[in-house]
Amino acid sequence: MDKTYILKIYRGEPSAQYWEEFEFARSPQANVISSLMEIQRNPVNRKGEKTTPVVWEQGCLEEVCGSCSMLVNGKPRQACTALIEPYIQSTGSTVITLAPFTKFPLIRDLYVNRNAMFESLKKVRAWISIDSSHDTGSFAPPVSPEVQEALYVLSTCMTCGCCSEACPQVNDKSNFMGPSALSQARLFNANPIGVFEKPDRLRAALGEEGIAGCGNAQNCAKVCPKNIPLTESLALIGREASKQALKDFFGLPDA
């Protein structure tokens, strides 16, 4: 059995990317992030050459913040939970490739700019305008445990970008904002207070960046680290947005 494993990393700056390999001793506890940290401590590549530390983004290291998104063996995922040994066992190879996401502007190495996702959250008003920490009395009806459970699943979205990376409709020729923002529109539309801004969110979903851009490839749900039912959200938002379009066309009130 090989006692080492290799990270083959596609790194560099825009228009100047290259592959570089780093070798490590195998350890049952090793994951992608711990390996990158080792490079940071001792930036020497497999050829024994002194190099620069690899640049990547990280935060919580427990798959909550969504910042350490990258391609591991070509598939989008969170690097903090990407254990080395399962990859070796499943592929039979001790070489694991790392690359930055391709759907977002590259900054350097494995670090990309995901600002487009946060701007999309603004467009669908992914927040509650009224501070629900105050006593609203009968203004905010109670939420059933069943609805609470469904909303919790939607609320676990980390804006990590995995869904957008896997979506063929998110590309240079499309304005589609991606699945996550539309799923968040569903989340806040279902909130007892957020429902009052539902028409505005649905109108955003009707725009050129909205639901019409979805090609129903369903790749998003397959790669979501939190198993959020993204295709279900897209279908629901599509139906509700169509109803809103009819209301607007005939001049019907939102309520």
For residue 139, what pLDDT band results from cuts at 50, 70 and 90? low
151 and 187 Cβ atoms separated by less than 8 Å: yes
The answer to whether residue 100 sits within a structural domain is yes
193 and 128 in contact (C-beta within 8 Å)? yes
Say what percent of the chain tops pLDDT 70: 95
Q: What is the mean pLDDT of the chain?
A: 94
Do 29 and 103 reside in the same domain of the chain?
Answer: yes
* CATH number of the domain that residue 151 is part of: 1.10.1060.10
If asked whether residues 131 and 196 sit together in one domain, one would say yes
The whole-number average pLDDT for the span 54-77 is 97
Stated pTM of the model: 0.93
Q: In what order do the strands lie in the sheet with 4-13?
A: 16-25, 4-13, 95-99, 69-72, 75-78
Does 187 score more than 90 pLDDT?
A: yes
Per-residue pLDDT at 137? 56
- Structural domain count, the chain: 2
Is residue 46 within 8 A of residue 21, CB to CB? The reply is yes
Domain match, 225 and 100 both: no
Which 3 state secondary structure label does DSSP give 82?
coil
- 67-85 average pLDDT score: 98
To which H or E segment does residue 120 belong? helix 115-123
Q: Which of 3-7, 182-186, 207-211 is least confident?
A: 207-211
Q: Is residue 134's pLDDT more than 70?
A: no
Would you place residue 254 in the very low, low, confident or very high pLDDT band (cuts 50, 70, 90)?
confident
Instruction: Count CA atoms closer than 13 A to 111's CA, side-chain side.
Output: 13
**Does residue 221 sit within a domain?**
yes
pLDDT of residue 144: 85
Parent domain of 48: 4-111
What pLDDT was estimated at residue 142? 80
Is the CA virtual torsion 172, 176, 177, 178 positive or negative?
negative
Could you identify the residue written with the tokens 């009819």?
A: 246
**pLDDT for 246 beyond 60:** yes
Both 18 and 63 in one domain: the answer is yes
> In the predicted model, is pLDDT for residue 1 greater than 80?
no
- Which pLDDT band holds residue 2 (cuts at 50, 70, 90)? confident
How far apart are the C-alpha atoms of 102 and 79, rounded to whole Å? Answer: 16
Give residue 205's pLDDT. Answer: 97
Taking residues 163-175, report their average pLDDT: 96
Q: Distances from the Cα of 77 to the Cαs of 64, 81, 98, 133, in angstroms? A: 12, 8, 11, 34
| 118 and 107 within one domain | no
Are 61 and 184 contained in the same domain? Answer: no
Q: So what's the pLDDT on residue 192?
A: 87
Q: Is 255 domain-assigned?
A: no
CA angle (178, 118, 73) in 5-degree steps = 60
Q: Same domain, yes or no, for 8 and 40?
A: yes
163 within 8 A of 114, measured Cβ to Cβ: no
Q: CATH code at 75? A: 3.10.20.30
Residues 154 and 96 in one domain: no
> Tokens in use for 164?
């957008």
Name the token pair of 160. 């990590």
> What is the per-residue pLDDT for 193?
87
- The shares of helix, strand and coil residues in the chain, as percent rounded to the nearest 5, are 40, 15, 45
Closest CA to 171 of 209, 227, 143: 209
